[in-house]
Amino acid sequence: MTSSTTPPNPPAGGSFWWTTGDPGPARLPARGRHVVDVAVIGGGFTGLWAAIRLLDADPSLRVAVLEADRVGWGASGRNGGFCEASLTHGLGNGQRHFGDEIELLEAEGRRNLAELAAFVADEGVDAELEATGTLLVATQPHELGELRAYAEASVRHGGSAVVLDRDEVQALQPSPRWLGGVRSGADQCVMVNPAKLAWGLAAAAERRGARVFEHSRVTSLRRRAGGVTVRVDGGAVLDADHVVVATSAYSAWLRRLTTLFVPVYDYVLMTEPLTAEQRAAIGWADRYGMSDSGNRFHYFRLSADDRILWGGYDAIYHPGNRVVPGQDLRPATFEVLARNFAATFPQLDGIRFTHRWGGAIDTTTRFSATFGDVLGGRVHYALGYTGLGVGASRWAAGVLRDKVLHPDAEQLRLRFVQSAPLPIPPEPLRTPVVNWMRDAVMGADANDGRRGLFLRAMDALGVGFDS
């Protein structure tokens, strides 16, 4: 007998987005033996877009998606819903690591975002997509120059960005913290309800003929002549010509991926719906997604029912690469987030937070995705979006499609696709290195943005840790 006083784990760590719709009855787990052309492991954005893009390229393919829990249960159903054009975790990070390709990558990112929005409209996916763009705000004087430089670079690379002074930002949205900002358009970012997007993508994949299995955790991959044998918890076996691994921060199950990424937890608060008076007190008429611009930043936005989602700031690594449901709630971080929220929106004094949750982000040393192949080139992976994968995962799925169907495709020759990030050492070194990095980034924020010796040494190695 289970104790009636023990509450069940809420779905997707307690994510608000999971309460906004109905994921439908669970799909059946995989059973028995199947022969497929492509087995996709992971039912988040990367895996679902991979299934869709493979089937759009070749409708005759037999594609199976294997998801350990429910579709959208991972980061895809828990995130802030900022669907950004950038493929490189922002222009600055892209310039730092891929200066030679950034022009192309920025254009590809904008094209990808436009195609994603068109797909959502054409397929009738109810993802609450709002083409709002963003407002990035400075809260410290040294950030004003950085924002101006960012806006100039963005325009130079074909993006939209307008610098706003303190009064202009305050007129849009009053807060004692804002000193100035940059407003970017919907070519750079649209807002979505991420869980509804994931559920809609699963339905779109099924309409194209994909089989989606839930509660089907893959336990091992074994190479065999002409393909790979995929074993699923519960005994099912898939014989696949190709495998796409799309398990993001949960990828430690495939040992050879563990040096590529660190799972870092990000936490979120959601307020109750704002009253008409509260709504009027904060401006925010154009409903753009917002973030402040320190190395440790908050991101915040309105939901369709006018709540404020407020997340970010802390980035917590749990030793040993642990990603388990017990880490989805972190009271200490929620307290810090609530305190910072109160300082930002004093006019909302007394507002309640109705939802709090967390999830793991797949962080690489170059702060952007990495792509590769293992097991004789039959198993292809994409992971490492470092907290900016809502839009980039669709582009990454195009890379995965080409790895399976068009290995000569031009985009596979990009350095962004071919090169690997600097590896992260295993424990016992991993925990001190990750925490040292975090402390150095916090030190830069407390020091007018000046990067200390450690961060500058990391920059020189191409391990640029910033926002």
Ligand X SMILES: Cc1cc2nc3c(=O)[nH]c(=O)nc-3n(C[C@H](O)[C@H](O)[C@H](O)COP(=O)(O)OP(=O)(O)OC[C@H]3O[C@@H](n4cnc5c(N)ncnc54)[C@H](O)[C@@H]3O)c2cc1C
Binding footprint of ligand X on the chain (CB under 6 A): 41-47, 66-69, 73-76, 78-82, 84, 217-218, 246-250, 253, 266, 268, 299, 311, 359-361, 385, 387-391, 393
- Least distance in angstroms from the C-beta of 264 to ligand X: 9
- 39 forms bridges with which residues in the sheet? 64, 243
Q: Minimum distance from CB of 428 to ligand X (Å)? A: 25
Q: Which is nearer to ligand X, 23 or 359 (CB)?
A: 359
CB 408 to ligand X: min, Å? 25
**In 3-state terms, what secondary structure has residue 392?**
helix
Closer of 135 and 179 to ligand X (Cβ): 135
DSSP letter for each residue of 365-391: TTSS-EEEEETTTTEEEEE--TT--TT
The DSSP letter of residue 137 is: E
Tell me how far, at minimum, the Cβ of 226 lies from ligand X, in Å.
23
Q: Hey, is 463 helix, strand or coil? A: coil
- Whichever of 216 and 344 has its CB closer to ligand X, that residue is 216
Query: CB-wise, 64 or 455, nearer to ligand X?
Result: 64
Residues 6+ apart with CB under 8 A from 265: 314, 315, 316, 317, 318, 327, 330, 358, 359, 360, 361
DSSP labels for 241-302? EEEEE--GGGGGGSGGGTTT-EEEEEEEEEEPPPPHHHHHHT--TT--EEEE-SSS-EEEEE
- Work out the number of other CB atoms within 10 angstroms of the CB of residue 174: 15
String of b and e for 404-425 (b: at least 16 CB within 10 Å)?
A: bbeeeeeeeebebbeeebeebe
C-beta of 278 vs 368, nearer to ligand X:
368
Residues 6+ apart with CB under 8 A from 327: 265, 316, 318, 358, 360
Residue 146 to residue 129: CA distance in whole angstroms? 30
CB of 400 to ligand X, least distance (A): 11
Based on CB atoms, which residue is closest to ligand X, 77 or 181? 77
41 vs 138, beta carbon nearer ligand X: 41
Least Å distance between CB 180 and ligand X?
A: 23
CB-nearer residue toward ligand X: 202 or 437? 202
CB of 392 to ligand X, least distance (A): 7
CA distance 361 to 124: 29
CB of 239 to ligand X, least distance (A): 17
Q: What are phi and psi of 389, to 5 degrees?
A: -115, 0
Burial of 252 (0-12, 13-18, 19+ CB in 10 A): middle
Q: By C-beta, is 44 or 464 nearer to ligand X?
A: 44
Query: 311 and 80 in contact (C-beta within 8 Å)?
Result: yes
Neighbours of 332 (CB within 10 A): 10
| 69/130 with CB nearer ligand X | 69
Rank residues 182 and 315 by Cβ distance to ligand X and give the closer one.
Answer: 315
d(CA 302, CA 16): 12
Distance in Å, CB of 387 to ligand X, minimum: 5
Q: Which residue is nearest to ligand X (CB)?
A: 389
**Cα separation, 263 vs 251, whole angstroms:** 9
Rounded to the nearest whole angstrom, what is the least distance from the CB of residue 77 to ligand X in the complex?
Answer: 7
Taking the complex as a whole, how short is the minimal distance between the CB of residue 159 and ligand X, in angstroms? Answer: 16
* Dist. CA 278–CA 305, nearest whole Å: 13
